[in-house]
Structure 1
């Protein structure tokens, strides 16, 4: 199972999640502040469950620092689920979100879904060469102009799915099914935020992408 880092200032919520996830077999680390949570990154958690409303350093800044430290996936906790929290958290680099209160079963399912995103699916070709972009599907690595770039699990899975069928248009709903594996009732914010983050890493000019094209009114397409 996974090593899960919980960063949550409410002791009852934190203790409850720690207890439930421990029962599912996870190795759980817990912190009450963003500063303490960042300190626990040295213990190499597989995934972070992060509350956005933290005292001191808020969850948005904590998420940005986690993302800068490496490809550790982040599930953010939001009490309201409104646009400010959700969009802000996704722009900061979160891979997924859940609205509190959340049951242990749902949280554990989200954790498993996020961690599955780094697992390679069945592919006929191990390495795709798109000129400036080289995607090794077996090794799960991506290089741009010969330089390896590190992608968090969600962005990597998104790139793998889009590039597996160049020229095909994927609706946001289909990408939600393929990448996030849950029914988000048409919440396209997850897809749009992940695409924006991915473009910033794989495109020379993200505002004028070469590979990841927006098909207005439908979704996204990968061009060679």
Structure 2
């Protein structure tokens, strides 16, 4: 049974959403503070976290950052903020998806299923992929460069593994949005540019002259293996 951590400081919302998720077959744990959420997320095996941004002690963004230091569990953020900048910031720090209030419980369940499905899609590749000085551990969902572990967000990890699976292929932004964030993502396709920029900062020796992730002007991006040139 999938275990979901639901984080919100309003008891009524916790009760309603917990009841609905339980009817769908999920095991639901709840937390009302950010500190409690971080502790549970780093000590309990979870399948997904539903995280409200407005918490009494820590912001949802702070909670997300702390969880990402220890875990790659999918995180669905709940927010009243609908601005593009807010969504991009959330995705950049490690959220897998955003759900803007008000929303229906049915939409919440659909989003939860989508983020968990996308997280599972990348567990079927070979255990290890080595490209240049990069090593990707599929079982651990971990990326290392010259043996040093890199702190990549779940979206950055999915973006990298998508590109690595098809070296030399040019991907359009909309294609990468579908692969990384799913068909139901409602954001702007330029969000991918933000993820590419952040990923280059982590994997490239010189992000301004990338060896791995190349820009194909007017089309999108492709992944090159510098050792095969």
Same fold (TM over 0.5): yes
Q: TM-score, normalised by structure 1?
A: 0.83
| Per-residue deviation, 1:162 | 0.8
State the match for 2:96 in structure 1: 95
Matches within 5 A, 1:70-89: 70-89=71-90
Matches within 5 A, 1:14-29: 14-29=14-29
Greater Cα shift, 153-162 or 128-137: 128-137
| Per-residue deviation, 1:78 | 1.3
Distance 2:6 2:32 in 1: 8
1:169, 1:218 within 8 Å by CA — same for their partners in 2?
yes
Greater Cα shift, 170-179 or 145-154: 145-154
Distance 1:121 1:71 in 2: 13
Distance 1:64 1:121 in 2: 23
Distance 1:141 1:89 in 2: 21
State the match for 1:61 in structure 2: 62
Query: Aligned pairs, how many?
Result: 223
Label 1:79 to 1:159 Cα distance change in 2 as closer, same or farther (>3 A): same
Matches within 5 A, 1:17-166: 17-41=17-41, 42-116=43-117, 117-120=119-122, 128-135=129-136, 142-147=143-148, 149=150, 151-166=152-167
Q: Secondary structure at the match of 1:213?
A: strand
- 1:48-87 CA distances to partner (integer Å, 9 max, x unpaired)? 1111122231111111111112222211111132124212
Label 1:12 to 1:191 Cα distance change in 2 as closer, same or farther (>3 A): farther
Greater Cα shift, 35-44 or 125-134: 125-134
Q: Secondary structure at the match of 2:50?
A: strand
| Per-residue deviation, 1:94 | 0.9
Label 1:78 to 1:107 Cα distance change in 2 as closer, same or farther (>3 A): same
| Per-residue deviation, 1:216 | 4.2
Label 1:182 to 1:207 Cα distance change in 2 as closer, same or farther (>3 A): same
Greater Cα shift, 19-28 or 110-119: 110-119
1:78, 1:85 within 8 Å by CA — same for their partners in 2?
no
2:94, 2:154 within 8 Å by CA — same for their partners in 1?
no
- When the two chains are superposed, the root-mean-square deviation of aligned CA atoms in Å is 2.7
Q: Secondary structure at the match of 1:192?
A: helix
Greater Cα shift, 89-98 or 187-196: 187-196
Distance 1:98 1:164 in 2: 29
Q: TM-score, normalised by structure 2?
A: 0.82
State the match for 1:13 in structure 2: 13
Label 1:84 to 1:159 Cα distance change in 2 as closer, same or farther (>3 A): closer
Distance 2:128 2:142 in 1: 10
1:86, 1:97 within 8 Å by CA — same for their partners in 2?
yes
